[in-house]
Amino acid sequence: MATTKLGFIVQRPGYKSENPKLALTHAIASQSVEIYLDDDDEVLCDVAFIGEGVLNCIKDQKALDNYQFNSTESHVKMALLCDLNVLVCKEDLEKFGMSESDIVLNAEEMGGDMDVKVVPYEEITKMMEEVNHLLFF
């Protein structure tokens, strides 16, 4: 059994660019990657929001109402529903004067168990060291 770990690092805000959303949808695709792998092999994805990327996590986004497509917030919730490890940089949130109360933290209303983890940048660095490959968005 072999595992490849990928780190998706989102460093830009969304909407003007679809990249943050694509980071999430690609990471979520780890749910079905097994069709390309041998039995018991797996690809695991961690997602980290840093810099302006933390702005993707602001809650109550109204993309669906205003632009008729799913919000980045809803993709974060989907990632949590899929049990992905989602990290948000604590220092960068604080730089924007934000705290956990300003961001999406869980997908409880959809039955999800995983929470977003607000962590020091040091933890994100640790994740970047541990994964096999990095993908910056």
Partner 1 sequence: MGKLTIGCFASLVGSTNLDFAVKLAGAALDKGHKVDLWVSGNGTMLSLEKQRAFKDYSYLEKPVKELMEKGLNVTACEACAEARGYHDDNTLEGVKRFSMDWYLGSTFDADRVLHIGGE
Partner 2 sequence: MKLAVFVSDYKMTVDTLERLKPEKMGIILVQNGVYHASVKENGNASSILDSSADLYALKEDLETRGIDPANVDSKVKVVTFGDVVDLMFNDYEKTAWL
Q: Which residues are at the interface with partner 2 (CB under 8 A)?
A: 9, 11, 13, 16, 50-52, 55, 92, 95, 121, 125, 128-129, 131-134, 136
In terms of CB distance, is 10 or 57 closer to partner 1? 10
Rule CB under 8 A: say whether 18 interacts with partner 1: yes
| Rounded Cα–Cα distance for residues 54 and 93 (Å) | 6
Rule CB under 8 A: say whether 64 interacts with partner 1: no
Instruction: Report the interhelical angle of 72-81 vs 19-28 (nearest 10°).
Output: 20
Among the listed residues 59, 69, 65, 60, the one whose alpha carbon sits nearest the alpha carbon of residue 15: 69
Rule CB under 8 A: say whether 2 interacts with partner 1: yes
Interface size with partner 1, residues (CB under 8 A): 27
Q: Which of 13, 14, 30, 48 binds partner 1 (CB under 8 A)?
A: 30
In terms of CB distance, is 38 or 129 closer to partner 2? 129
Which alpha helices (DSSP H) does the chain contain, by range? 19-28, 63-67, 72-81, 90-95, 121-130
